[in-house]
Amino acid sequence: MFVVTVASSLFALSAGCSSGSAGGNSAIAPSPLSLPPQSPRSLEAPAQPDSTASMNNARDLANAQPEDVLDFTPAQERDLNGGNGQSGQPLTYETLGAELKQLGLTPEDKNPFWAMKVKATTADGAEWTFTIDASLSKDQGVVWINCNLCPIDKNGSPSAESLINLLEANNLLATSNFALSKDHSLLLQEPIPNVGITPQILGASLKSFFTCLKLSEPLYKPFFGAPSGGQGGGGGNPFQ
C-alpha cells in the first residue's frame, strides 16, 4: 500500500493492585494484545511497476510526451466535460484508460496500471522524465495517481533534513503527498474518490499533480545524488 511505512512497537503495561487477602499485593497479568480484524475494504493500490523518474536521460526523454499535454486550456477543459463519470458511475480499469486517452495522453496498458511518461524541464534546467501511473484501488473505491521517484537508502542517505522537508511539504501540496512504498521507494501520490470522475475532473487532477511534481523538485533531487547548485543541481526548499 502506498503509505509512509512507520515502524512502531506495542508495549503492554502490567499494573499491581492491592488485594484484600492476607497475602498482600498481587500483580495482575497483562492481557494479551490483539489487533482488530482486517477490514474487507481496501483502498490500497495494486503493486506498482518498477519504472522510476530519471533526470537528463536522453532515451527516456525521447520516449516521453511533452509536459504541455497536461496544460489544458479553458476551452479544452469545457470540451472534456462529460463522459463516463457524468453518469455518476465509478470508473472501471477500462474506462479509466479511455478517459486518459481522451485527454490526449498515450497510456501504456500494464494491467493493473496505466503508465504514462511525461517530460518536464524544471527551473534549474534539469530535464526530467516522470512515469505517472493511474490505477484503481483493490476495492475500486479510489483512483490512484502515482509517480515512483527513486529508491530510498535505508542506511541514512540523504540527510534527515531532506526527509523532514518532504514531510513538511505534504501540508502544502494540495491533495498530493510524498510517501514510501513497501519496497522503500519514494513516490508522489494522489488519491481521487472514484465517484463521478469525468475526463475534466481527471485532467484537472493530473494537471495539479504534475505541477506538484515540478514545484517540489528541489526536495527530492538530493535523493538522486545530484550535486547542489548549478545545472541539474539540488538544494533548497521551495516551501520555506
The DSSP code sequence of 81-150 is --SGGGGTPPPPHHHHHHHHHHTT---EEETTEEEEEEEEE-TTS-EEEEEEEEEE-TTS-EEEEEEEEE
Report, at the CATH architecture level, how domain 50-224 is classified. 2-Layer Sandwich (3.30)
- pLDDT per residue as tens digits for the range 24-37: 545 555 555 444 45
Query: Whole-prediction pTM value?
Result: 0.74
- pLDDT per residue as tens digits for the range 141-172: 999 999 999 988 776 667 888 888 888 898 88
Residue 4 pLDDT grade (very low, low, confident, very high; cuts 50, 70, 90): very low
**Worst-scoring range by mean pLDDT, 47-61, 106-120, 136-150, 225-239?**
225-239
CA dihedral of 137, 142, 182, 6, whole degrees rounded to 10? -140
- pLDDT per residue as tens digits for the range 97-138: 999 999 999 999 999 999 999 999 998 999 999 999 999 999
